[in-house]
Chains A and B, each alone.
Chain A
Amino acid sequence: MADAQTNVDPSAMKVSDEVAITIDGMNKWYGSFHVLRDINLTVQRGERIVICGPSGSGKSTLIRCINALEEHQAGSITVDGTLLSSDLKNIDTIRSEVGMCFQHFNLFPHLTILENCTLAPIWVRKTPKKEAEATAMHFLEKVKIPDQANKYPGQLSGGQQQRVAIARSLCMKPRIMLFDEPTSALDPEMIAEVLDTMIELAQEGMTMLCVTHEMGFARKVANRVIFMDAGQIVEQNEPEAFFTNPQSDRTKLFLSQILGH
């Protein structure tokens, strides 16, 4: 495996023809406020998509709709062939297929790191405890903090907490990972360690949807960058083309603001 910090060749990571997520004509309102307008998006298995855009553009809401943390009012979302409806069974199926990392980690502060990681496998997947712990240790090793397993989240640094959060999601063996601004609550020196973990994940072929402003990460890992504004997808392209030759004026303005200094 290549060193994460240095060269990553996005084309080396394969994208299959299989469809992972289909979003078709999806709309969402908060009361009378139209947050997501006619979103159409197809994600292939193995794709790494970075979603960016100004705050309030609906990018977080979009990925939160995919695992039903938010309810959409029109259109359809299909994840791995399961239609996201109001049927609890479908919601449960999709949630156990889809892992999610939050901006503020949302680790459970009253449980140890290991317990955080084994909780869902034991209670949702009904995995025997021993097996769940072995899996948890495996993923904790992967995010390089196996020695912290018996500490509590409050005793860890922000970067470590976010890596635990990633490991916690991976323990459910998801086929798709959603990242909701995973680095925006972190101190600068901790961002790299979290991004490294995400890059490694990408290299293993995980399907990823990532809301982030880390443009370096987007260039290195993503095979598609989506720019959203005012609840709609304004532009999407391969990262190189997206950054060097943006088409829409809004994209140009956004990129100039974010890369300006």
Chain B
Amino acid sequence: MSTISDPGNAGFRIGMLLSDTRYRSYTFQFIALILLIVGISYLVNNLLANLNELGLNISWAFLQEPAGYDINQRPIQYDSQSTHARASMVGAINTLIVAFLACVTATIFGVIAGVLRLSNNWIVARLMSAYVEAFRNVPVLIWILIIFLAMSNAFPQPRAFRGDNATSSMWLDSVAFTNRGIYIPSFVNEGWQATVFWLVVLASIVGMFAYRRYAKKLLYDTGRLLPMGWPSLAILFVPGLIVYFLLGQPVGLERPELKGFNFQGGVHMRLSLIALWFALAIYTGAFIAENVRAGIQAISKGQTEAAASLGLRPGWIMNLVILPQALRVIIPPLISQYLNITKNSSLAIAVGYMDITGTLGGITLNQTGRAIEAILLLMLFYLIVSLSISAIMNVYNNSVKLKER
């Protein structure tokens, strides 16, 4: 073998910074970096000059000061003497609550509408198209406001439930729709028995999946096919019911009751929560429906025909051939819709739902005047949530990619 030498190994000239492929990209990156640093320092310089002129500074001390305002939905301990940091935390949890509820509901709406839109039932398919188009093409803010205003005008006042000739009555004696919100029953847990009951319920859910896994393994190993449908249902419900009655019904329902001018007991869901939840769910559901439809249509008809020609039954075709492929197409856009829900939940401020935009970015910001700090924290919160969701999506994408090879 002849001597291996670097190609074109000539001496360095200054012109080579631009003309030589080895140095050119370093030159450009260096210039970009310098421009970035100059740009940022210009902005920071302006910021400091402005703050100086106004006699302001950057300080995070306000987070430890008492907030002094009330929050109407408090998932954790909070009162007006709590700190701004605590208020922001309450807001953050409220954001996550409404985002989670909306994600679940939007998925349900979206999957139903997406599947029905492909149905060969003409009228149902048209209805679903109308739903998708109507909601996709109107700003979500308008939907939030319409739903909020419609509910607060259409639902009766709590006092309408009172007296012998009440104009309104509770639904199944346990759910009350009022213009102050919706009251639903809550669980009342009694002692250790309740804990045992919930553990059994949890175990049954795990047990059902374990059974299905076992049945699959048995099929692969021995070729014996166990029934799937009714045993799963039995495992899911029977143990829980048995324990429930054996332990003397340890878990009860607390129904909301009208006391004075308002309902007491149960869970009170404010209209702001319901409107935001429902609007986000139905709006995003329209987008998810399109993703689902595209996902199912992406699986060619040939796949169904190939599976059928192998003798698979329709149910098996769906589970073994269509769904695994369709999910691969559907899930990435689905997760980015979840991201959109989380970001759109910041519109809570329009209906007075106290999410983090309402607390940290709203009242706290206005009371303390710490605009830069508050908005920075606010962005950081959303950024962390978004990046976590994206990270989950990347893990999923990679796992799907591996299966392809």
Contact = CB atoms under 8 A, between A and B. Distances in A.
Q: In the complex they form, do A and B come into direct contact, defined as C-beta atoms under 8 angstroms apart? A: yes
Interface of A: 24-25, 27, 37-38, 40, 72-77, 83-91
Contact of A27 (B4, B19, B22): B4
Nearest to A85: B8
Contact of B19 (A37, A73, A87): A87
Given A73-B7, A85-B10, A88-B20, 10 more contacts: A25-B2, A25-B5, A38-B2, A72-B7, A74-B4, A74-B6, A75-B4, A75-B7, A76-B5, A87-B20
Contacts of A77: 7
Interface in B1-58: 1-8, 10, 16, 19-22, 24
Nearest to A88: B19
A89 B16 CA distance: 10
Tell me the interface secondary structure of chain B in the complex.
Answer: loop
B7 A76 contact: yes
Contacts of A90: 8
B4 A86 contact: no
B7 A85 contact: yes
6 contacts: A37-B1, A76-B8, A83-B8, A86-B20, A86-B21, A87-B8
A88 B21 contact: yes
B21 A25 contact: no
A88 B8 contact: no
Contact of A74 (B5, B19, B20): B5
Contacts of A91: 21
B19 to A, nearest CB: 5
Contacts of A74: 4-7
A5 B2 CA distance: 43
Interface of B: 1-8, 10, 16, 19-22, 24
Nearest to A92: B19
Given A83-B8, A84-B8, A89 B2 contact: no
Contacts of A87: 8, 16, 19-21
A73 B22 CA distance: 12
A84 B10 CA distance: 12
A32 to B, nearest CB: 15
B106 to A, nearest CB: 39
Nearest to B16: A87
Contacts of B2: 24-25, 38, 40, 75
A35 B6 CA distance: 17
A88 B24 contact: yes
Contacts of A37: 1
3 closest Cβ pairs, A-B complex: A85-B8, A25-B2, A74-B4
A86 B1 contact: no
A24 B3 CA distance: 10
A165 to B, nearest CB: 26
A86 B3 contact: no
Contacts of B10: 85
B329 to A, nearest CB: 26
A89 B19 contact: yes
A19 B1 CA distance: 23
Contacts of B16: 87
B134 to A, nearest CB: 37
Most chain B Cβ neighbours within 10 Å, of A24, A76, A77: A76
B283 to A, nearest CB: 37
Nearest to B6: A74
Given A83-B8, A84-B8, A87-B8, A25 B20 contact: no
A37 B4 CA distance: 10
A90 B21 CA distance: 11
Contacts of B24: 88
A24 B5 CA distance: 10
A27 B24 CA distance: 24
Nearest to B18: A88
Contacts of B4: 25, 27, 74-75
A123 B166 CA distance: 84
A229 to B, nearest CB: 17
A84 B6 CA distance: 11
Contacts of A84: 7-8
Contacts of B7: 72-77, 84-86
Nearest to A73: B7
Contacts of B22: 86
A83 B10 CA distance: 11
A85 B19 CA distance: 11
Most chain B Cβ neighbours within 10 Å, of A40, A85, A90: A85
B1 A38 contact: yes
A64 B21 CA distance: 17
Most chain A Cβ neighbours within 10 Å, of B7, B19, B20, B21: B7
B323 to A, nearest CB: 35
Contacts of B19: 87-89
Nearest to B19: A88
Contacts of A27: 4
